[in-house]
Structure formats: structure tokens, C-alpha cells
Amino acid sequence: MKPLIGITSSMEINQSQYTINNNNVKAILQAGGMPVMLPYLLSDEDIDQIANHIDGLYATGGYDIDPTLFGEEPHPKLGTIIPNRDFFEIALIKKLLEMDKPILGVCRGSQTLNIAVGGDMYQDIYSQIDKELLQHAQKAPREYGSHFVTVQEGSLLHQITGEEKLRVNSYHHQANRGVSSDFQVSGAANDGVVEAVESKKHRFALGVQWHPEAMVVTGDKPSQKIYEAFIIACLEK
């Protein structure tokens, strides 16, 4: 039986409908998982029930994260936030980590994972990092790898991909900054921007800043390996 994978959804500011990029669904299906969309549930009872039923969580991309969740006021460059999404995803991530169920986060999902365990982040890398940066909001097709990420040797990401350097796509203006003592940075761009974080104590809790779901459709092997490893972890109960 395929593992049940909860996929977080996005929502417009008017909160009239949930949306999921179809590449996210395709990536989970291709790797052998059964995707289910998760609405924003706000009660502890509902969150516990979801956590008990799914085999793993796939935290997807989307709008910015409320900076008050990591002790900061809104920066002028902060974009749209959906507070209910932040609340639900962070609460669910905390619950799943307690249960040691696998979590894969991409882009915003990587940041949400980090914030849930006590890390922090840049609200806007271009104005908050005092150095010249790469183009992290690429002007190339979504599936095209526009810059490189150096992978930490011995990390989970390194074990999964077998690569010391990955070519990735890039669509973000926020990024993880500090990580908790239970996590580590496992990938960084050449300009030092954090591109991957992972747990040092859980079976599988990995966040990547890029969008591997868009690269899977082009047959990118490292991207495929990330999803396959996630699904395998979800099968191991």
C-alpha cells in the first residue's frame, strides 16, 4: 500500500480557495506516494488526527512567513502572509517530529520546518544580507537549474543524492538563517545563503530552499532521489 502523504496547500489573501501546484502532486505520485491535500486546521484535536493518519508531510512553497513567529517585527520587504497557514503547519510539524514521522519541506516549507524547531530566517535576503548575492529569484524557466548548492559531506542530503554539488532552481527572497541545536545546515549557495537544513536526531526531516518538484518533471536525478528517499522513509514505520 502506498504511504499517505499530506501536502500543504496555499491560499490567496482573500482565503476563498486552496491551491496546490500540480508538480507537487506529480512528484509524490512518481515517487510512489499517495498525496492528500491538507486544509488549514486550527484545533489541537484536528491536528492530532491528521498527524495520526498521514505517513509523512510534504510542506510546499507559498507566501512569506509571519516574522513574529521568530521574534521579529515585519520588515518593509516582507510579502503576503497567511497566518492560519503558518499556525497550522508549524503545529503539525511539531507534532510529527514528536512522532518521528518523515517531513520534506521545499522553499517556504524548508523555512517553516526551521521556524517550528526554533530557528530563524531572513525576511528579505537582498536587504538584510550586507553583501552581493546571487540571483535567487531566477529569470529562467522554472525547471531550469540556475545556480549551484554545495552539499555538506555526510549529511542526509549528501547520502540521498550522492552529490557534493547540486544544480538547483531558485525562486525566493527569504531564507533560513540560524538553525536549532537539533538541526544543521546541509547545503548552501556560493554566496553563503542557506539552501538546505535537516534534523540531526529524526529519521527524516529535510528542507530544501529550491523547488525539486519542478525539476523532477525534466528527469533531474538528484530531485527524483529526494522524493524517493522521502517516500521510502514514510514506508518505514
Helices 221-235, 22-31: crossing angle, 10 deg rounding: 70
Residue 38 forms beta bridges with which residues?
8
3-state secondary structure of 7: strand
Are the CB atoms for 210 and 146 separated by under 8 Å?
no
3-state secondary structure of 93: helix
CA atoms within 13 Å, Cβ hemisphere of 50 = 26
CA atoms within 13 Å, Cβ hemisphere of 102 = 24
Residues 213/219/220/224 CA torsion (nearest 10 deg): 60
Q: Which residues are CB-contacts of 67 (< 8 A; sequence separation ≥ 6)?
A: 73, 74, 75, 78, 123
Are the CB atoms for 53 and 101 separated by under 8 Å?
no
Catalogue the active-site residues. 107, 211, 213
The CA distance from 57 to 35, in Å, is 10
